[in-house]
Each structure stands twice: as structure tokens, then as C-alpha cells.
Amino acid sequence: MKKLLRFTSSTVTVLLFAALICMIIVVISSKASGGSPSAMGYEIKSVLSGSMEPTFQTGSIIAIKPTEENGTEYQDGDIITFQQDQETLVTHRIIGVNETNDQIVYETKGDNNDAADMDPVLDTNVVGEYTGFTIPYVGYFIEFANSPTGALVLLVTPGVIIFLYGILSIWRELKKLEAKTKSASASEPPD
């Protein structure tokens, strides 16, 4: 029974430390990259609307390959992420490619939308292309981690749990030591 408790205790400790390290990596990566974590040259973006369902669901994360030069290499049918305004990124499918005044302009539409987007997308506003990689529901977690409250909760909570677990472990060991001392003094012959 003691071996099982010791194994469980060690497993919980390792899992808590691993969770703390993962949270630190996610939060620092998100903050360092301006809110979008990246891995192996791909940017991870959260999907916040249902305009592209069923291609990817609201709350998913998607990987995009960043545009390398000027965003003129995309074709009809490609799914691109573009800067709609200074604070908004949108990921929609290209339904038309036009050239005006030596600049490529894309007509886009969300797969789940009835009509094309109102404003055409300039090639200079294209951030990247969807790679086909999606993980459902993780986007909710990433958005929470990017918020000040989320960063605080995800960094502080595992730390507090590890701290409390450490205090509990020390208290248990002190109780064991106290019990040994009492049993040793009880077994000593009186003078």
C-alpha cells in the first residue's frame, strides 16, 4: 500500500510540474509572438467564428504558413488568412483573383457564408495560407491563455498547487518523524 501511495505521489508531482512547464511555454510563446504561438515555421491561429464551418469549427486552432514575400502566389480555392483591419485577422477561401494597377486583389468568402466578403483583399494584407492542420476546441484555451486573467490563472494555479503539495509532503514527513521519535522514546528503558 505504501508503494502505491509513493508511486501515486511521485506521479502527481511529475504531472503538476509538467503542467506548469507547459503552461509557461504556451503563455510565454503567445506573449513573445504577439498573441500567436508558432511552431516549426507555422503560426497557430484560433478560429473565433463559424464562417468556415465545416472546414474547421469555431474554437479550433489552425496552422498557417506565413506569406514569405508579397502574397501574390495564391490561387482560386486557397484558404488564406488576411488582415481585415488593424486588429482583425480573417481566414476565408479565395473565390476570385483579379489584377488591378499592378496589384493582385483577392475576392474571398467564408465556406459557411451566403455571400462573398464585402471588401476585396489586397495581396499585401495576406498573412498566410491555411495548411490543412486543425485541432478542435484548443482555440478556446489559447484565447484564454492570451488574456491577462488566463495567463495569471495558468501560471499561478499550478504553482500554488505544487507549493501546497510540497507543504503537505513536508507535514506528512514531520508526522512520521514525530511518530518514530515517540515510539523510540517509549521503547527506551526508564533510568
Q: Give the number of other CB atoms < 10 A from CB of residue 142.
A: 20
* Residue showing cell 455571400: 115
Is 10 tagged catalytic? no
Q: How far is CA 5 from CA 1, 55, 80, in A?
A: 6, 47, 52
Query: In whole angstroms, what is the distance from residue 110 CA to residue 129 CA?
Result: 14
What is the length of the chain?
A: 191
Query: In whole angstroms, what is the distance from residue 23 CA to residue 93 CA?
Result: 33
Closest to 150 in 3D by CA, of 23, 2, 15, 1: 23
Determine the 3-state secondary structure of 169 from DSSP.
helix
Q: From the candidates 49, 51, 147, 187, which is the catalytic residue?
A: 49
Could you tell me if residue 117 is left (phi over 0), alpha (psi between -120 and 50 degrees) or otherwise beta? beta
Q: How far is CA 14 from CA 1, 28, 72, in A?
A: 20, 21, 48
List, by residue number, the catalytic residues: 49
